[in-house]
Structure 1
Amino acid sequence: MDNLNRRAFLRTGLLSATFLISPAAVALANTSSLSDLGRLMSANDLVTVYSAREIVTLDPSRPSADFVAVANDRILACGTLDEVKAAVGDLPYEMDTTFQDKVIVPGFIAQHAHPLLAALSMSSEILSIEDWELPTGTVPALKDKADFMQRLASAEGSLDTAESVLFSWGYHAAFYGTLTRSDLDEISTTRPVIIWLRSCHEFVLNSFALAQAGVTQDLMDGWSTSAQAQSSFVEGHFWEQGMFSVLPYIAPMVADPDKFREGAIVMRDYMHSKGITFGNEPGGILAKPVQDTVNSVMSDSSMPFRWSFMADGKTLAETYADDAQVIAETEKLESWYNGMTHLAQGSVKLFADGAIYSLAMQLREPYIGDYHGEWMMDEDLFDRTFRIYWNAGYQIHIHVNGDAGLDRVLNALETNLKPNPRIDHRTTIVHFAVSAPDQVDRIKQLGAIVSANPYYVSALADQYSETGLGPERADQMVRLGDVERAGISYSLHSDMPMAPADPLFLMWCAVNRITSSGRIAGENQSISREGALRGVTLDAAYSLRLEQERGSIEPGKLANFTILDENPLTVEATKIKDVGVWGTVMEGRKIQTGDADGRKALLDPTPSGINRTEFAKAAMEHAIRSVHSHG
């Protein structure tokens, strides 16, 4: 059969009765011209047939395979060698045995992570509550405050110049004790020392940093009452409104665009080392100079994965009083992206209640201890914004952590469904920290889906059992077991840097629910391994409305694979996070971990026209605005 007739054969769907054609491929064949199909089957392009110890497809019609054929950026076929060769036919092909002893799974998807925040934290001296396995080496978790002081002093001694700023991220006072200006003065009195705490809601500065930034008690006396109440000049501590007030003065010291770009490259290589082939920023950057600088790394062809940016509906609705203009301005954002970045069209991010790390969730029952919930959007603004985007046909992703916050979200969804029913709206409950069984039933009834952060249990269940939530609520956080049993689609996300952007680690968290003390919290909320794998692949794609292109290994879909040393569905459950990652195949491009062109963006200059001071202020303002609801 010649190539043209093979393409026509594919287009008619006559092969749909064989292993070759899945529903995805049939849809592709039925909607593509012959020239489009030629991208898959062209005599001028060599087909690559990969062999593997095992291929986990997540295609229910063929759950596993031994070979997969790739033409250009698409999957041509998968199955046994004879079946794949039959599909390839007379087309030229080569056998690639690189993965002969590896396991191929669908390409991992970072459903919800923050590149700007990640780049800022990755450009700092990381000293945190958890291990960070970076391309440059593993940064172990802090043991205690003494360990922090010793490692910070060592970092200070290794700085290149006397003028260099010592900027560190990750310290958590709830774990290691209060950190003050006098502590940091022990590290240095001749260079700025700035600590961005793990929650990203607080800064602690040494005396030299305060002096260099021009922050004095007289200056602070002119701040708002709330900013003064949330600042301490004596302790060098600035949080919440105090943090926003001090930010313009310290931003140039912590957000230099060149340093930021170095952090972005570390972030890029870190995510690739974890097998990520696609990612999404929920609530994208609304400062063009900052986005341009992000694009200088992330839009470049050297990127080993693509990234989408979702519109920040909260800020857009706050900015524009006219409903139609809100949508018009949202659509204009498409022009901000290029190359390996793009706007997540037709999707928007909203916010309900406050953060889990700062215990600012809105709860049905009171907190244990001196905590209270916060709303991230006033109810009238939330209701207006939800209505605007709902009526425009957008998929709405909503940050919500507490069960009272979830009530607000589900009430808004039900209110808008009645006058304007939408069958496949996929309204996404994001984070899903504290919830109740009746809310799971309601999520299913209303047709919503869940994007959960399973790291909350591992990192916080022990601490929150003692304060904040108490044992029962803490152990039942992120009740994905109930969600899975209810048949609700769910995905897993890291919210990096709020958790490591490591899909295998997220799977481990969700399957095992092992806390920092080693106990199991809420075993009834553990999920299946296949559900966890789907949560970082096919169901993650579904949550972003990309399941026709990504998330499983089926003919017609993009050739996005993650290459592993072991099968996470069969390895011992407690070893899932330890499975090695060889690298990825991204849209047909084979990229081993460490092979990305890590120097390219460093060699290029910072984009012309970027005002460094304005970049620093805009970058930190966006970062703090974003983490105000996450940290």
Structure 2
Amino acid sequence: MPSRAGFRILCSAVAGLFLAACAAPQNMAQQQVSAESAVIFVNAQIITVDDAFPQAEAVAVRDGRILAVGTREEVNRAAGTGASLRDLGGAALAPGFIDTHGHFAMLAQTAGMANVQPPPAGPVRSIPELQAQLEAWALAHPDSPWILGWGYDDSLLAEQRHPAREDLDAVSTEKPVFLMHTSAHLAACNSLCLDAVGISPETPDPEGGIIRRQSDGRTPNGVLEETALYLAYAHLPQPVESQRLAGLSAVQELYASYGITTAQEGAAQGQNIADLQKVAARGDLYLDVVAYQLFQKDGVIPEDFAVSKTYDSRFRISGIKLLLDGSLQGRTGWLTQPYATPGPGQPAEYSGYRIHSDESVANLFEQAYARDIQIIAHANGDRAIDQYLDMMTPVMAAHPGQDQRPVVIHAQAARQDQLEEMAAAGILPSFFAAHPFYWGDWHRDAILGPERAAFISPLAAAKALGIPYTVHNDPPVVPPDVIRLLWVSVNRETRSGQVLGEDQRASPMDALRAVTLNAARQYFEEAEKGSITPGKKADFVILSDNPLTMDPADLQSIRVLETIKEGVTIYTAARQEN
């Protein structure tokens, strides 16, 4: 590598590499660089996210890799004769965004359901509007044996409650109605749904879940929490394989439109993994997709369960996933202190509940560490995070020097002492940093109270401890809109326009790093992705404005103009507009 400061170039490492085939949909632009020539990006605001070389005038790409970064003269010389120029007209060029936690396969599944989400993700603001949306869906899907909906949010319904069985009986007394809460930790059923899945007044609450009851304390009111949902899942109608595979292929276009080049399926079931492997094998993945298989109580990792840090046709299984608690906004997250308001039927001291016993968690952690399998675990409440840390610390001590990069997913109510413990142990929090906008007012007024709510997603505190944290949207809970995620991380503005925890705001660069270089590191891919550095994959997003130089309050106005995966354009706004 040349020693000149201000210029870095990779030559031998890219020799012999060829651009991987990329099967993008026919309505999407594809621009492939030949093996003989390079493309030089010029007239761009280049955001390298590389502290060793933060500024550049030009970037050269060859064979899907970044060939050179530096001044225009230096990059031209490195690219050699025959290179073509791409003038970006002053737009910003940044590393492709990396989804650090989401549900790629689940998003494909929910696309076929009635959208009963609140704005901006959907149209529903009240139970009558929810009923109308379901009735319209039922008319449009007369052959469906069930009426299925996704994304209702009691915190944003005018009635400030879950739809009860009677509300859904008003939609249909001829078909079961099943609605998934926006958190995916609760659901609502009509009477036929409860009958179909075998839930009656005599059905006990399952361990780690609750069947909510009417005032008599026996009759199910239609709302199911946490593991009680499993009683329904086995009875829901399932799409056939061709529909599932088509959905997986199509959902990529949505991700690409948000600038995402690497996606996650963060709670994969066996069927999801088999489907993703089939889509990958037939060459239909043009995003990289990382999967973590969900393990339940007292789970045993099969001997043939294999993980990999390399992709096979753009798909790989990276590790295992556990759910340690539920949803804070749904009041099923596990806290050390009671909820500000406990919710219907709960005592004043109610603080949520666990999903797994300590023994079950410790057993899975030990199995995974013994086999060098990465662990990610959903833990929203601070008591759930305590369980994670208490069970993880001895396992890590028993495997010194092993770089597993365990991840606490969401970490909403993480305390300062827990962040300090994560920093010391090398445990990574991936914050659901979209929360201050979507549920910030609800957290402040009903869930956590002002003091605890102001410290959700404590990005500044994590930064001060040197933690390379990441942030995520958790689609389909909220859309995979990375620009909105950056805006919330930097501004922490709620739906009502108030600021929730001003002292926990991230800088624009730190927020961007959390979805690029830090995100790549979470996946053990920092040598391949996450910054505009010679030798890395040419995964880029072209933005209408530079998030580092504009007014942070205006970050939401940024548009994704183009998404490039290994030198291939997989999304252009211009093509979509045409």
Please report the TM-score for the alignment, with normalisation by the length of structure 2.
0.84
Q: How many pairs align?
A: 547
8 Å contact from structure 2 (residues 362, 391) kept in 1: yes
Q: For 1:534 and 1:445, how far apart are their aligned partners in 2? A: 21
Aligned equivalent of 2:314, options 336, 340, 352 = 340
Question: What's the counterpart of residue 252 of structure 2?
Answer: 268
Q: Which residue of 2 aligns with 1:601?
A: none
Q: Following the alignment from structure 2 to structure 1, what is the Cα–Cα distance between the partners of residues 252 and 393?
A: 39
Q: Indicate which of 156, 164, 167 corresponds to 1:180.
A: 164
Counterpart Cα distance in 1 of 2:155 and 2:226: 17
Amino acid at match of 2:128: A
For the structure 1 residues 427 and 200, does the alpha-carbon distance in structure 2 shift closer, same or farther, using more than 3 Å as the test?
closer
Q: Secondary structure at the match of 1:146?
A: helix
Equivalent position amino acid for 1:586 in 2: K
SS of aligned partner of 2:61? strand
Contact 2:35 2:63 in 1 (8 A): no
Q: Structure 2 residue aligned with 1:56, among 32, 38, 47?
A: 47
**3-state secondary structure, aligned to 1:363:** coil
Distance 2:182 2:256 in 1: 23
Match of 1:244 in 2: 230
Residue identity over aligned pairs, in percent, reads: 26
| Cα distance change, pair 428–200 in 1 and its aligned pair in 2 (3 A) | closer
Contact kept? 1:51, 1:68, Cα under 8 Å: yes
The alignment status of 1:87 with 2:74, answered yes or no, reads: no
Contact in 2 for aligned 1:507/1:529 (Cα 8 Å): yes
Which of residues 97, 101, 120 is equivalent to 1:108?
97
Residues 184-263 of structure 1 aligned to structure 2 (within 5 Å): 184-189=168-173, 193-206=177-190, 213=196, 220=200, 223-224=203-204, 226=206, 229-230=211-212, 236-240=222-226, 242-249=228-235, 251-252=236-237, 255-261=239-245, 263=247
What secondary structure, in the 3-state scheme, does the structure 1 residue paired with 2:47 have?
strand
Change beyond 3 A, Cα 1:361–1:192 = closer
Shift of residue 424, structure 1, vs aligned partner: 4.6
**Offset at residue 330 of structure 1 (A):** 2.7
Gaps of 5+ in 1: 1-12, 133-138, 321-325, 598-631
Aligned partners of 2:210 and 2:225 also within 8 Å: no
**SS of equivalent to 2:384:** helix
Residue 24 of structure 2 is matched in structure 1 by none
d(CA) in 2 for partners of 1:18, 1:336: 32
1:162, 1:191 within 8 Å by CA — same for their partners in 2?
A: no
* Equivalent position amino acid for 1:343 in 2: I
Q: Shift of the alpha carbon at 1:295?
A: 4.0
- CA distance 1:298–1:456, shift in 2 (3 Å): farther
Whether the aligned pair in 1 keeps the contact of 2:280 and 2:312 (CA below 8 Å) is no
Change (3 A) 1:160 1:433: closer
Match of 1:354 among 293, 301, 326: 326
Q: Does 1:516 align with 2:495?
A: yes
CA distance in structure 2 between the partners assigned to 1:522 and 1:18 by the alignment: 40
Secondary structure at the counterpart of residue 318 of structure 1: coil
Query: Is the CA contact (8 Å cut-off) linking 1:282 and 1:309 kept in structure 2?
Result: yes
1:413 deviates by 3.9
Relative distance call for 1:162 and 1:336 in structure 2 (3 A) is farther
Alignment map for 1:521-540 (pairs within 5 Å): 521-540=500-519
Instruction: List runs of 5+ in structure 2 lacking aligned partners.
Output: 20-32
Match of 1:118 among 104, 107, 110: 107
* Alignment partners' CA distance in 2, 1:220 and 1:43: 64
Are the structure 2 counterparts of residues 596 and 422 from structure 1 closer, same or farther at C-alpha, using a change threshold of 3 Å? Answer: farther
Structure 1 410/182 Cα, relative in aligned 2: closer, same or farther at 3 Å? closer
- 2:414 aligned with 1:435: yes
Are residues 1:21 and 2:40 paired? no
Q: Distance in 2 between matches of 1:228 and 1:448?
A: 31
Question: Given that residues 333 and 352 in structure 2 are in contact (C-alpha distance below 8 angstroms), is that contact kept between their aligned partners in structure 1?
Answer: yes
Say which of 288, 303, 311 aligns to 1:328: 303
Deviates more, 1:394-403 or 1:545-554: 394-403
> 1:429 and 1:461 mapped to 2: Cα distance?
21
Shift of 1:474: 1.3
Aligned to 2:476: 497
**Matching residue of 1:8:** none
* Letter paired with 1:527: A
- Residue from 117, 125, 141 that aligns with 1:143: 125
How far did residue 483 of structure 1 move? 0.7
Matched, 1:47 2:27: no
Measured against aligned partners, the alpha-carbon deviations of 1:576-626 in whole angstroms (never above 9, x if no partner) come to 1231111211011122347999xxxxxxxxxxxxxxxxxxxxxxxxxxxxx
Deviations 1:446-505 (A, max 9, x none): 222221111222222321223332211112111111111222111111221222212211
Instruction: Select 1:474's aligned residue among 439, 448, 453.
Output: 453
Contact 2:105 2:265 in 1 (8 A): no
Distance in structure 1 (CA, Å) of the matches to 2:98 and 2:144: 40
Instruction: State which of 578, 585, 592 in structure 1 corresponds to 2:571.
Output: 592
Q: Contact 1:201–1:239 (CA<8 Å) still a contact in 2?
A: yes
Instruction: Mark the CA change 1:470 to 1:300 in structure 2 (over 3 Å): closer, same or farther.
Output: farther
Q: Which amino acid aligns with 1:246?
A: A
Q: Quick check: which one's helix share is greater?
A: 1
Q: Distance in 2 between matches of 1:128 and 1:437?
A: 33
The whole-number CA distance in structure 2 between the counterparts of 1:116 and 1:71 is: 32
Q: Show the counterpart of 1:607.
A: none
Residue 281 of structure 1 corresponds to which residue in structure 2? Answer: 265
Report if the CA contact (8 A) 2:135-2:171 is conserved.
yes
Name the aligned partner's letter for residue 39 of structure 1: L
- Structure 1 residue 534: Cα displacement: 0.4
Q: By how many angstroms is 1:208 displaced?
A: 6.4
Q: Aligned to 1:472, what secondary structure does the other structure show?
A: helix
SS state at 1:58 partner:
coil
Relative to structure 1, the CA distance from residue 389 to residue 260 in structure 2 (aligned partners, 3 Å threshold; closer, same or farther) is closer
Q: What amino acid sits opposite 1:93 in the alignment?
A: A
**Matched AA of 1:220:** S
8 Å Cα contact 1:74/1:588 also seen in 2: yes
The AA in structure 1 aligned to 2:83 is: Y
1:104-155: per-residue Cα shift (whole Å, max 9, x none)? 10010001111222122222121213413xxxxxx44x33233333444444
Q: Determine the structure 1 residue equivalent to 2:292.
A: 310
Residues 380-438 of structure 1 deviation map (CA, whole Å, 9 limit, x = unaligned): 12222223333444443332222222233333343244443227543322211112222
- Counterpart in the other structure of 1:577: 556
Query: Compared with structure 1, are the counterparts of its residues 364 and 114 closer, same or farther at alpha carbon in structure 2 (3 Å cutoff)?
Result: same
Residue 399 of structure 1 pairs with residue 381 of structure 2:
no
Code of the residue aligned with 1:308 in structure 2: it is: V
Kindly provide the amino acid, as one letter, of the partner of residue 361 in structure 1.
G
Question: Structure 1 residues 298 and 508, CA, compared in 2 at 3 Å: closer, same or farther?
Answer: farther
Contact 2:560 2:573 in 1 (8 A): no
Distance (whole Å) between structure 2 residues aligned to residue 237 and residue 447 of structure 1:
39
